[in-house]
Structure 1
Amino acid sequence: MRTSRTLLGFFNASAFCLFWLTNHAVDSAKLSAPEKVTGAYGGSVTISCQYNQRFRNYTKYWCKGPVYELCTILQKTPKRKDNDRGAIVDDQEAGVFTMTMTSLNKSDEGKYWCVIARLGRNTYIGVQLELSDTVITTTSTPFITNEEASWWMALRWILFSIMLFCVVATHIITWRIKAVRKTPPQQQLHHQNSQNIYD
């Protein structure tokens, strides 16, 4: 009995981890942005956040804070805040929203977040802004194309099917083990003898 419970727990834990990893991988394919952007003091910088086309009509926003859950929203679509030093533009045809910050100063340095507002859980990615007296440079990550996003979606369903098969198989094996253990010893012996006769 203890063995079957351990086996069941192992497969359930593995299935949960597999589902979480595939879901995380798909989330990462929904939104992409530069990891780090360097701007010049007094200058301006534009950060582009690319998203999957199925989120074209969703609200996007730009917020600041070391931790996403506690970040402060600076700009939001479609209702942009009146701000002489920052503006957000959502190009739904291209699947990109951009945030432009001007007159950069020391207080502008820090962690920012590109965010797609969704029911349940928002999709977000962090961007580190650093300032210097040198020429502006940008370190970016490759954008995820729609074909790559579709590939991730297909992979998720394949892995989910494998996970579901493992869970069902585990339950069947556990049920059969319990059924054998509940069978009276004399009936088990009779069944074993019958098998020996046919062998």
Structure 2
Amino acid sequence: MQLPLVLLLLSLPGCLSIQGPESVRGLEGGSVTVRCDYKPRWETYRKWWCRGAYWELCRTLVRTTGSQLEVKRDRVSIGDNQSHHFLTVTMEKVRQNDTDTYWCGISKTGRDLGAPIRVTIEPEGTLLTTACYPTNGHAGVSSVSYSR
């Protein structure tokens, strides 16, 4: 017997509770900022950013304290806008070897909630085009960047 589609979607990590862009691109040496939106009720929960293609094996790079205070660790910072229900992660001084799958997530009892984001870092001198993606009914835009 097959699960109805709704039940299948609800069983996926973070599905419908937290969402981010499918992918983002940045230039080597620059910074990449990712916004992940979450549903109301998760405001005071700790949020995190981890790296790795597999949910169970990803390595947490930074996490919030459960407040709106920004937390920075190495080249990565995370902030939680609890009044508007989104978290923002910024990776600075990115390198091509930072290209990977990352997850923005919410810590909770039982299985955490998470959404995968493919981050691609292009070599210096690459022209990045503008891309639009929907974010909770709002259009998100990444800017055009060029570096020598």
Same fold per superposition (TM over 0.5): yes
Once residues 55 and 76 of structure 2 are traced to their aligned partners in structure 1, the CA distance between those partners, rounded to angstroms, is 20
Deviation per residue, 1:4-34 (Å, 9 max, x gap): xxxxxxxxx45xx137336348x52211101
Once residues 130 and 89 of structure 2 are traced to their aligned partners in structure 1, the CA distance between those partners, rounded to angstroms, is 14
Identity %: 33
Once residues 62 and 95 of structure 1 are traced to their aligned partners in structure 2, the CA distance between those partners, rounded to angstroms, is 16
Instruction: Please name the residue that 1:65 is paired with.
Output: 52
Q: Counting helix residues as a fraction of each chain, which structure ranks higher?
A: 1
- 2:106 pairs, out of 109, 116, 123, with 116
Report the count of equivalent residues: 130
Residues 86-101 of structure 1: pairs in structure 2 closer than 5 A:
86-101=76-91
Q: What letter corresponds to residue 32 of structure 1 in structure 2?
A: Q
5+ unaligned residues in a row in structure 2: which ranges? 138-148
Once residues 30 and 98 of structure 2 are traced to their aligned partners in structure 1, the CA distance between those partners, rounded to angstroms, is 11
Contact kept? 1:63, 1:71, Cα under 8 Å: yes
Larger Cα-atom Rg: 1
Q: 1:22 to 1:81 in 2, by over 3 A?
A: closer
Instruction: Please name the residue that 1:31 is paired with.
Output: 18
The alpha-carbon deviation at position 139 of structure 1 amounts to 5.2
The alpha-carbon deviation at position 53 of structure 1 amounts to 1.4
Q: 1:109 to 1:22 in 2, by over 3 A?
A: closer
- Considering only aligned residues, what root-mean-square deviation do their CA atoms show, in Å? 2.4
5+ unaligned residues in a row in structure 1: which ranges? 1-12, 146-199
Q: 1:38 to 1:74 in 2, by over 3 A?
A: same
Q: What letter corresponds to residue 68 of structure 1 in structure 2?
A: W
Q: 1:138 to 1:86 in 2, by over 3 A?
A: farther
Residues 43-62 of structure 1: pairs in structure 2 closer than 5 A:
43-62=30-49
